[in-house]
Amino acid sequence: MALTIPSSTKRVHLAKRPKDFIDGQTFALETIPLRTPGPGEVVVRVDYVALDAAMRGWIRDMRSYVPPVKIGETMRAYALGTVLTDAKTVKKGDRVIGMFGWAEFVTVGESSLRKITPPPYTDALDFLNLLGLTGLTAYFGLLRVGNIKPGETLVVSGAAGATGSTVCQFGKLLGAKVIGIAGAADKCKWLVDDLGIDKAYNYKDKGWKDAFKKEVRTLDVFFDNVGGDTLDFFLTRLNQNARVVLCGAISGYNSQSFSGLRNYMALITQRAKIEGFLTMDYADQYSEAEAAIARWIREGKLKRKFHIETGLAECPQHLALLFQGGNTGKLVVRISQEQARL
Amino acid sequence: MALTIPSSTKRVHLAKRPKDFIDGQTFALETIPLRTPGPGEVVVRVDYVALDAAMRGWIRDMRSYVPPVKIGETMRAYALGTVLTDAKTVKKGDRVIGMFGWAEFVTVGESSLRKITPPPYTDALDFLNLLGLTGLTAYFGLLRVGNIKPGETLVVSGAAGATGSTVCQFGKLLGAKVIGIAGAADKCKWLVDDLGIDKAYNYKDKGWKDAFKKEVRTLDVFFDNVGGDTLDFFLTRLNQNARVVLCGAISGYNSQSFSGLRNYMALITQRAKIEGFLTMDYADQYSEAEAAIARWIREGKLKRKFHIETGLAECPQHLALLFQGGNTGKLVVRISQEQARL
């Protein structure tokens, strides 16, 4: 495998902030010179980028937990890459995880890299998923914010997505009754048959809410990846002291005018709460969580599915899949033309 | 003072559930025979009833923390009364607090009574307010749910109401910067000049939100008695780890179609929460709270204002005052024709 260092790189930058949906004008592809690494810097070839619903928030111009991506800036994205130049802490050929963005090659400081050495029971892509931010988000959201207890009823929206499917499995491992909400019959089948959750509802089926009311009735923890009307419905289904974990709101990411929550009065009568969280606030507990997740993987207790697309230029339309319910499991895009070792 | 026992009593019962606002058909006045007390029962003369926004919820036919008042049943209400017959634990002439409802006289079990002996620095009506459910609600909501800390910014909606004005004062006593939201200039003046809070905004003033954004900017605890648009606005003003304490939603009590919350995504970026609570869940800590509040009263640190109306038959229109912003401080109705000792 040749690890040649190019003098230029293709990248996709933010061209125009979308009002509602990402469209053909939101991003633009270009070729720019690749900066020669200075002291403490290396060149990294980007092999795979992870696509995540939070990215819609990163291109919105509003007060948030990270500054928005600027117009003209490379679109921000977590990625798996291969180091092409030697430095103190990493060597040519090392596999690394970092915020490389939508680009073929990047010049970055070595201190921003996380060198990975996949154990035999994993593959490198797990570090963009279960052993990366997705797994940590599911872990802290369900255990720390949701405070799930054995025997409780856990409902997960966006259940067939990367975070959702991980939360579903963590829920089962922790002794909860797990109900998944997804947008297609084959996703529901995968959740029940392969992941072993107790029940799944297709929110595109007419009458799914009535079926839920009759069959499941109420819930203790709602892990919400979707927001909007689904969240509003489940506010009417809370048990006493229920916890709603706000992880994302895919239904809202793309719209400035989604319908609001009308059933929040139930929070009073049920002494319940809606709580948002950011995974980065739990950084001091990452190693504990990673060890727990790695142990479950090693014991064969966690399944994962990757939805792999290809092509840097096509990243914008691949990202749109997340908001169209087009993926099952973790959505990643293969960037490098070279055969990446997994 | 003659304590004669009548053979009949006037009462106001629920006649028809209102769709939105309480109207002339919601309640009806009637005269019914007064039941002769059996063993362990006494007759109580109702002197004052407390009116509270939560009563709107009690006549709504939905899943809640207490069963709804039934059609034909006496309207439920906390009240201050005088015992007219002797029993084991109470004697003729004792002052008592209980859920007597909208009636002149009631026959009740003595175990449902709370006998009060107002210390010299209080009066009996305090037991419907600071030393009753209102004070306890403010205490547990602000200390246990809001977890207010010295130096934090506390915003209170419905600030000139019974609960709101108590929360404002507790906030100052606990070292917070306190901002009140009310619906009239004289209420705002009372809050700042008499209660000593830091700032008050009249939500009927055009531009109050911009003024808040400029002058206060953000908040740590929002104690919400109002809900609706006010709550939605303050969701955009949360500091990191902010707590929204849902105590009530006056704006919503009267409507089945109020506009929903659209800014809840801020809960994620600010790692914040909205939490509802019911005072009765803290029953094991009532005596601790009552002692703390009584100490503040004795030390002259708490002010209170009563808005006193009269007449059993007029209770429905007095109740409506709460939703029209017609009261400042605790709204009570004097029921007994006899001069009640306070």
The tens digit of pLDDT for each residue in B80-98 reads 999 999 999 999 999 999 9
The shortest CB-CB distance from A267 to any of B64, B268, B275 is to B275
Mean pLDDT along residues A143-157: 98
Whether the predicted pLDDT of A253 surpasses 90: no
The shortest CB-CB distance from B271 to any of A260, A268, A277 is to A277
Which of A114-123, B57-66, B199-208, B244-253 ranks highest by mean pLDDT?
A: B199-208
Burial class (CB in 10 A: 0-12, 13-18, 19+), B210: exposed
Question: pLDDT > 70: what percent of chain B?
Answer: 94
We report the CATH number of the domain holding residue A243 as 3.40.50.720
The verdict on A266 and A323 lying in the same domain is: no
**Please, where are the H alpha helices in A174-245?**
185-189, 208-215, 228-234
> A72 by DSSP, 3-state: which?
coil
The verdict on A117 and A140 lying in the same domain is: no
Residue type, B257: S
The shortest CB-CB distance from B264 to any of A65, A265, A274 is to A274
B-chain residues within 8 Å CB-CB of A64? 269
Give A121's Cβ-side CA count (13 Å radius).
13
B-chain residues within 8 Å CB-CB of A267? 246, 274-276
Question: pLDDT > 70: what percent of chain A?
Answer: 94
Which residues have C-beta within 8 Å of that of residue A324, sequence separation ≥ 6? none
What are the structure tokens assigned to B314, written together? 């007029």
Nearest residue of chain B to residue A267 (CA atoms) = B276
Question: Considering only CB atoms, which residues of chain B are within 8 Å of chain A?
Answer: 57, 63-65, 227, 231-232, 246-249, 252, 258-262, 264-278, 281
Strand runs labelled E in chain B: 8-14, 27-33, 41-50, 79-83, 95-98, 105-109, 114-115, 153-157, 177-182, 199-202, 219-224, 238-246, 273-276, 306-310, 330-334
Q: Do residues A132 and A78 lie in contact, with contact meaning Cβ atoms separated by under 8 Å? A: yes
The per-residue DSSP string of B164-183 comes to HHHHHHHHHHTT-EEEEEES
What are the structure tokens assigned to B186, written together? 């004289």
Pairing type for strands A95-98 and A114-115 reads antiparallel
Q: Do residues A8 and A29 lie in contact, with contact meaning Cβ atoms separated by under 8 Å? A: no
Give the per-residue pLDDT at A339: 56
Asked whether residue A341 is domain-assigned, the answer is no
Asked whether residue A286 is domain-assigned, the answer is no
Asked whether residue B3 is domain-assigned, the answer is no
CB contact under 8 A, A269 and B276: yes
Place of tokens 């720019």: A32
Nearest-CA neighbor of B166 among B330, B336, B332?
A: B330
The verdict on A33 and A109 lying in the same domain is: yes
Interface test with A, best of B236, B273, B278 (most A CBs within 10 A): B273
Asked whether residue B126 is domain-assigned, the answer is no
Asked whether residue A289 is domain-assigned, the answer is no
Size of interface A-B (CB pairs under 8 A): 102
Residue B45 forms beta bridges with which residues? B82, B105
Mark B275-304 as b/e (b = at least 16 C-beta within 10 Å): bbbbbeebeeeeeebbeebbebbeeeebeb
Question: pLDDT > 90: what percent of chain B?
Answer: 82
The verdict on B150 and B74 lying in the same domain is: no
What are the structure tokens assigned to B131, written together? 């030393």
B166 dihedral zone (left: phi>0; alpha: psi -120 to 50; beta): alpha
The verdict on A109 and A64 lying in the same domain is: yes
The verdict on A163 and A261 lying in the same domain is: yes
The verdict on A138 and A251 lying in the same domain is: yes
User: DSSP code of A70?
Assistant: P
The tens digit of pLDDT for each residue in B129-158 reads 999 999 999 999 999 999 999 999 999 999
Write down the mean pLDDT value for chain A: 93
Pairing type for strands B177-182 and B238-246 reads unpaired
The tens digit of pLDDT for each residue in A174-185 reads 999 999 999 999
The verdict on B84 and B112 lying in the same domain is: yes
Asked whether residue A339 is domain-assigned, the answer is no
The tens digit of pLDDT for each residue in A229-238 reads 899 999 999 9
Query: What is the rounded distance in angstroms from the CA atom of residue B50 to the CA atom of residue B58?
Result: 14
Question: Nearest CA to CA, how far is B87 from chain A (Å)?
Answer: 36
Write down the mean pLDDT value for chain B: 93
Q: Do residues A44 and A103 lie in contact, with contact meaning Cβ atoms separated by under 8 Å? A: no
The verdict on B218 and B315 lying in the same domain is: no
Question: Nearest CA to CA, how far is B333 from chain A (Å)?
Answer: 26
Pairing type for strands B177-182 and B153-157 reads parallel
Kindly report the backbone phi and psi dihedral angles of residue B103, in degrees, each rounded to the nearest multiple of 5, phi listed first: -155, 160
Round to the nearest angstrom and report the end-to-end CA distance of chain A: 14
Q: Do residues B159 and B165 lie in contact, with contact meaning Cβ atoms separated by under 8 Å? A: yes
The tens digit of pLDDT for each residue in A21-54 reads 889 999 999 999 999 999 999 999 999 999 998 8
B-chain residues within 8 Å CB-CB of A252? 265
CB contact under 8 A, B269 and A65: yes
Q: Tell me which H or E stretch contains B288.
A: helix B286-298
CB contact under 8 A, B274 and A274: yes
Give the per-residue pLDDT at B151: 98
What are the structure tokens assigned to B329, written together? 């401080």
B-chain residues within 8 Å CB-CB of A63? 269
Interface test with A, best of B64, B271, B279, B280 (most A CBs within 10 A): B271
Under the banding of pLDDT at 50, 70 and 90, the label for residue B258 is low
Question: Nearest CA to CA, how far is B289 from chain A (Å)?
Answer: 19
Asked whether residue A87 is domain-assigned, the answer is yes
A-chain residues within 8 Å CB-CB of B260? 232, 259-262
Question: Nearest CA to CA, how far is B31 from chain A (Å)?
Answer: 34
Q: Do residues A113 and A79 lie in contact, with contact meaning Cβ atoms separated by under 8 Å? A: no
Q: Provide the residue range defining the domain that includes B142.
A: 133-280
The verdict on B141 and B272 lying in the same domain is: yes
The shortest CB-CB distance from B260 to any of A57, A246, A261 is to A261
Query: What is the rounded distance in angstroms from the CA atom of residue A266 to the CA atom of residue B288?
Result: 28
CB contact under 8 A, A268 and B262: no
What are the structure tokens assigned to B326, written together? 């017609």
Give the per-residue pLDDT at B116: 95
Round to the nearest angstrom and report the end-to-end CA distance of chain B: 14
Question: Nearest CA to CA, how far is A236 from chain B (Å)?
Answer: 9
Pairing type for strands B41-50 and B79-83 reads antiparallel
B-chain residues within 8 Å CB-CB of A61? none
Query: What is the rounded distance in angstroms from the CA atom of residue B105 to the CA atom of residue B173?
Result: 39
Whether the predicted pLDDT of B63 surpasses 80: no
Query: What is the rounded distance in angstroms from the CA atom of residue B143 to the CA atom of residue A331?
Result: 44
Interface test with A, best of B229, B236, B246 (most A CBs within 10 A): B246
Q: Do residues B159 and B153 lie in contact, with contact meaning Cβ atoms separated by under 8 Å? A: no
Interface test with A, best of B237, B264, B277, B279 (most A CBs within 10 A): B264
Asked whether residue B296 is domain-assigned, the answer is no
Domain count across chain B = 2
What are the structure tokens assigned to B140, written together? 């547990």
Query: What is the rounded distance in angstroms from the CA atom of residue A241 to the CA atom of residue A220?
Result: 7
- Last residue of one domain, picked from the residues B241, B264, B280: B280
B-chain residues within 8 Å CB-CB of A278? 268-269, 271
Q: Do residues B169 and B195 lie in contact, with contact meaning Cβ atoms separated by under 8 Å? A: yes
Mean pLDDT along residues B58-66: 82
The verdict on A110 and A164 lying in the same domain is: no
CB contact under 8 A, B269 and A261: no
Give the per-residue pLDDT at B337: 78
Nearest residue of chain A to residue B281 (CA atoms) = A271
Q: Do residues A307 and A331 lie in contact, with contact meaning Cβ atoms separated by under 8 Å? A: yes
A-chain residues within 8 Å CB-CB of B249? 264-265, 268
> B219 by DSSP, 3-state: which?
strand
A-chain residues within 8 Å CB-CB of B233? none
Among A114-128, A239-253, A322-336, B206-220, whose mean pLDDT is lowest? A239-253
Which residues have C-beta within 8 Å of that of residue B212, sequence separation ≥ 6? B179, B201, B237
CB contact under 8 A, B265 and A227: yes
Question: Nearest CA to CA, how far is B62 from chain A (Å)?
Answer: 10
> B30 by DSSP, 3-state: which?
strand
We report the CATH number of the domain holding residue A61 as 3.90.180.10
Place of tokens 């111009």: A61
Under the banding of pLDDT at 50, 70 and 90, the label for residue A61 is confident
Nearest-CA neighbor of A221 among A113, A146, A293?
A: A146
Mean pLDDT along residues B270-284: 95
Give the per-residue pLDDT at B2: 58
The verdict on B73 and B176 lying in the same domain is: no
Give the per-residue pLDDT at B251: 66
Under the banding of pLDDT at 50, 70 and 90, the label for residue A256 is low
Which of A193-207, A322-336, B247-261 ranks highest by mean pLDDT?
A: A193-207
The shortest CB-CB distance from A271 to any of B249, B262, B281 is to B281
Whether the predicted pLDDT of A3 surpasses 70: no
Q: At what angle do helices A133-140 and A286-298 cross, to 10 degrees?
A: 100
User: DSSP code of B34?
Assistant: P
> B213 by DSSP, 3-state: which?
helix
CB contact under 8 A, A276 and B259: no
